[in-house]
Structures are given as structure tokens and as C-alpha cells.
Amino acid sequence: MWNFLFKMIGTELNKAVKHLKAGELVGIPTETVYGLAANGLDVNAVLKIFEAKERPFFDPLILHVNNLEKVNALILSFDLRLKKLADAFWPGPLTLLLPKNQLVPDIVTSGLNQVAIRIPNHPLTLSILEQLNFPLAAPSANPFGYISPTTALHVNKQLGEKVAYILDGGACEIGLESTIVGVEEGKVCVYRLGGLSIEQLEAVVGEVTLKVNLSGDPKAPGQLKSHYAPTKPLFHGDLEKLFNQHRGKKLICLCFGEPPPFKDRVRILNLSPNCDLQEAAKNLFGFLRQADELDGDVIIAQNLPMLGLGLAINDRLKRAAVN
């Protein structure tokens, strides 16, 4: 039984490469979250991604490669400030929006002129990319709208039946998706908060413009209002207020630092007892999954400090929340 469940999870690079070359889906590890990968230049392979995730076609995909030469082969030009960011942070949790050339199928970009590209920082995936002469299209390996996976088991649980293989690269180092950056009206803009902080970006290119919003506008990258959501109702904000509002229900509490004083009928999951935002980021999606599986009615999640990765963590919690 177990053997059957786990037969397609492993660390065999050759298997992953073979399936990808055959146009099939493979779960791949990255430093941010696990991706659901396929040949990004093969329309039929890309279609399988949308189908498996039940993802709407208006939500474009990120292409992954292992070096700048391969990036340049997919684009018309490289804005100098974006190039500076690439030089500073690739391989790493940064996705750049760049003008695509004719090699990139329209289905990848949902018909937009720009393609999202990144060089991920994970040794196994870099090694696969090195062996492929095409980029990998890879959204997070979760059903559309659900919590992103940060372990191979998370991928197996939800998409196991839909992939040919899952490459197990351990738990993701960062645990939040990449930060998405582009240029609009001459300004460097951030479209999705993620594993690279605003402070880190600004240290390289100066002030950036936040274009992150909570509207339902699907053209705004990665910014659908309801996303990253557990199936239990989640409320995000001041813990004490939320506790009082939901008194009497069985609560699961996601906190940060000093745990809250209330204990009755509350299960506490501490994202980082030592107030380390990187640790909190790494724990976030796994804890949300745990919270979803635990016995309880409602999840209440603390608003984290608005600095460094705190912005991206709060962003994900807001999108997961019903309030």
C-alpha cells in the first residue's frame, strides 16, 4: 500500500528528466515552493499543467531556466535595472517580467507580451534544467487557490495522481513564492511580494513601486483576492480581538513570538517563537495545512510585523482570510 503511494516520489534526476522530455508533468523542488513542471515550449505539455491544477487560462505561468543565456533566448530585451536585480539575486526567489519573443507560446503568458522568468536556487532542479534544452513552466504544485506545497508529500497528497514523478528535494528553504518584479512607465514595480524583500530589492535598484493589490483583477500578477486558502475559515488580524470575536468556537491559532495568554479550546501553532521572520516564512504554508487538518472550527492568524518577509507573510494570510 505505502509502496504504491510513494513509488513516484524519489530523488532520481534521470527519471525527472525522462518524463519532462516526454512532455509529462513532474513535481520539482525549489527554494520557494514546489513547482508543477512541464516543457514550457510545448503547448500540449503546458495544457496539462492548467488541467491538473484546474487553473484558469487567464493566469500566466513562470518559466524556469538555469542560466542567463537561456533567459536571453526567450526575450526581446533586458531592462538594465532588471538585469541588475538578476545579477544580484539569481539563482534565487526573484521572478522578472520581460518582453517575450516568438519562442514563448501565448498560453504560457495568457496572451500578454511579457513573460515571467526565474532561475530557481535548488541544486536538484538546477541540475535538471541543465540537462534540458527547454525552459520549465512551473506554477506552485497545488490545486488552484489552495495553499502552496513546501514538501514533496504536500505535492503527492493533492496532485500525486496527476504527475508522472515527484522529485524530492526536501523542505523548501524559503517557503514563500518568488517576488515578481517588472518595469511599468519607467518604474521598477513589484507585482507580488515574496521570498525576496522590498528592502533587498531597493538596496540594488533604489525605490520600487508596489503594485500589489487585493482586488480580483486577474491581470495583476498572482494577486487574486482569494488565494493560498485553507478550507477552514481563517481570520487575520489582532489575535486578542479575533479570540474575543470567536469565543466559544474551537480555535486554531497561528501566532508569532510570545504565545497569546488564552489557552482554553485553543490549539496554538507558533510560526516562530523567537520572532524570526525567515523561520515564520518557512513554516507558514506547512502550518496552514496542519491547521486545516487539525480538529477545530476556525483559524485565527496574527498580523506579523510589516518589515522584511513580514509583508509577504501578511499578504498571504490576507488572501487566505475570509475577513
Instruction: Enumerate the H helices of 110-192 as residue ranges.
Output: 123-130, 152-159
* Residue number with the smallest Cβ distance to Mg ion: 140
Give the one entry of ligand TXA, Mg ion, none that residue 91 binds, where binding means its C-beta sits below a cut-off of 5 to 8 angstroms depending on kind: none
- Distances from the Cα of 209 to the Cα of 47, 97, 149, 216, angstroms: 33, 14, 29, 20
Tell whether residue 121 is a contact of ligand TXA (CB under 6 A): no
Question: What is the CB-side half-sphere exposure of residue 19 using CA atoms within 13 A?
Answer: 19
> Stretches 38-46, 53-61, 126-134, 229-237: which one binds ligand TXA (CB under 6 A)?
53-61
H or E element at residue 91: none
List binders of ligand TXA among 131-160 (CB under 6 A).
138-140
Q: How far is the CB of 219 from ligand TXA (least distance, A)?
A: 8
Angle at 167 between CA 38 and CA 34, to 5 degrees: 70
For residues 209 and 183, what is the distance between their CA atoms, to the nearest angstrom?
Answer: 9
- Mask for 202-241, x = binds ligand TXA (CB under 6 A): -------------------xx-------------------
Of the candidates 211, 271, 198, 282, the one whose C-alpha atom is nearest the C-alpha of residue 239 is: 271
Q: Site for Mg ion (CB under 5 A): which residue of 39, 66, 121, 140?
A: 140
Can residue 114 be called a binding residue for Mg ion (CB under 5 A)?
no
Q: Which is nearer to ligand TXA, 41 or 239 (CB)?
A: 41
The answer to whether residues 122 and 171 touch, using CB atoms and an 8 Å cutoff, is no
Residue 92 engages ligand TXA in binding (rule: CB under 6 A):
no
Alpha-carbon torsion 214, 216, 219, 221, what sign?
Answer: positive
Distances (CA, A) of 316 to 142, 147, 272: 15, 9, 16
Q: How far is C-alpha 3 from the geometric centre of its chain's CA atoms?
A: 29
Closest approach, Cβ 272 to ligand TXA, in A, equals: 21
Indicate which single residue of 8, 17, 30, 70 sits in contact with ligand TXA (rule: CB under 6 A): 30
Stretch that binds Mg ion, among 78-86, 100-108, 110-118, 138-146 (CB under 5 A): 138-146
The interface partner of residue 179, options being Mg ion, ligand TXA, none and the CB cut-off 5 to 8 Å by kind, is none
Site residues, ligand TXA (CB under 6 A): 30, 32-33, 35, 59-62, 95, 97, 109, 112, 114-116, 120, 138-140, 177-178, 180, 221-222
